Amino acid sequence: MLSKTTDRLAKIWLWMSALAIILILLSVLGYIFINGIGIMSVSFLLDMPKNNWREGGILPAILGSLIVVFVALAFAAPVGVGTAVYLTEFRKEGLVTRIIRISSDALNAVPSIVFGLFGLSLFVFYLKDYTGGPSLLSAGLTLGFMILPTIIRTSEVAMRGVPYAERMESFGLGASKLQTIKNIVLPGAVPGIATGLILSIGRAVGETAPIIFMVALNPTVPKSLFGSGNTLTTQLYYLAMEGISMKVAFGTALTLMLVILTLNAITRVFKKRLSRNLRRG
């Protein structure tokens, strides 16, 4: 009888733990939402900051975030997907694939501030003449390095999900390896690759520490890749840390939050489509 009571109490505890996690998530989201919604408007998103960020909008930060994410993807998407193709289609499992996988995992584990130190010394000092020093290009490339492992891993999983039989059929019909990759493997892996890319965009747009030494609080619209800029995350850090304007800080936080929520919703649609495809296949 006692064991039945314990069983019931334990189950209540497990349910409570799940409930606690939902409540934690809701309080973080709710807190940012309630504090940010007051200042949120179209003009907040599209106006220039005024009076040292105490008024006006956050357009430069939005543009800066878009640019660094674009640079990061322009580097990491081809390299990451290419690596996945190589690992799944060109190479038998062995020492080479193991080394590539281990280095990708290790890269994934590097703390974000270490990426910051690395980006600072490589792009800002060492390659200064090519990157423009502390520029949006430097920041974007550093983020690109950081999201590369995620893209490699998700693309590889997606390509391995394409049934072996389909490749064999394609070869059987006389298609070459390249034709098979182009017509069978890549199309079949698109939903998985896309999910990985969106996941990486979310990571790149939300990171602060890797780019904090390259991106300053800058009130002007970025003029070129080689110029300095401002992103949502770094702006949020400076506004909150130095107590410049909590109102605008919360508005920036809400903007960032909405971007993350939108990306999250898109991946869920992809995931649903993915599982439907799997069931059909």
Q: Residues 174 to 203: which contact other proteins by CB under 8 A?
A: 176-178, 199, 202-203
Shortest Å, Cβ 253 to other proteins: 5
Piece of 42-50, 157-165, 208-216, 217-225 that binds other proteins (CB under 8 A): 208-216
The amino acid present at 173, given as its one-letter code, is L
The amino acid present at 35, given as its one-letter code, is N
Residue from 45, 63, 66, 110 touching other proteins (CB under 8 A): that is 110
The CA distance from 40 to 26, in Å, is 20
Residue from 111, 163, 187, 281 touching other proteins (CB under 8 A): that is 111
Identity of the residue, 201 or 225, whose beta carbon is nearer to other proteins in the bound complex: 201
Shortest Å, Cβ 112 to other proteins: 6
Q: Is 46 in the site for other proteins (CB under 8 A)?
A: no
Piece of 44-52, 142-150, 185-193, 222-230 that binds other proteins (CB under 8 A): 142-150
Piece of 53-61, 105-113, 186-194, 221-229 that binds other proteins (CB under 8 A): 105-113
Restricting to residues 14-43, name those near other proteins by CB under 8 A: 14-15, 17-18, 20-22, 24-25, 27-28, 31-32
CA angle 153, 156, 162 (to 5 degrees): 145
Q: How many CB atoms lie within 10 A of CB 203?
A: 18
Shortest Å, Cβ 72 to other proteins: 13
Shortest Å, Cβ 94 to other proteins: 13
The CA distance from 101 to 157, in Å, is 12
Site string for other proteins, 56-95 (x = CB under 8 A): ----------------------xx--xx-xxx--x-----
With contact defined as beta carbons under 8 Å apart, do 164 and 89 qualify? Answer: no
The CA distance from 79 to 179, in Å, is 20
Identity of the residue, 40 or 107, whose beta carbon is nearer to other proteins in the bound complex: 107
Alpha-carbon torsion (275, 147, 139, 252), positive or negative: positive
208 burial (CB, 10 Å; 0-12 / 13-18 / 19+) is: middle
Q: How many CB atoms lie within 10 A of CB 157?
A: 16
Paired tokens of 258: 């909405």
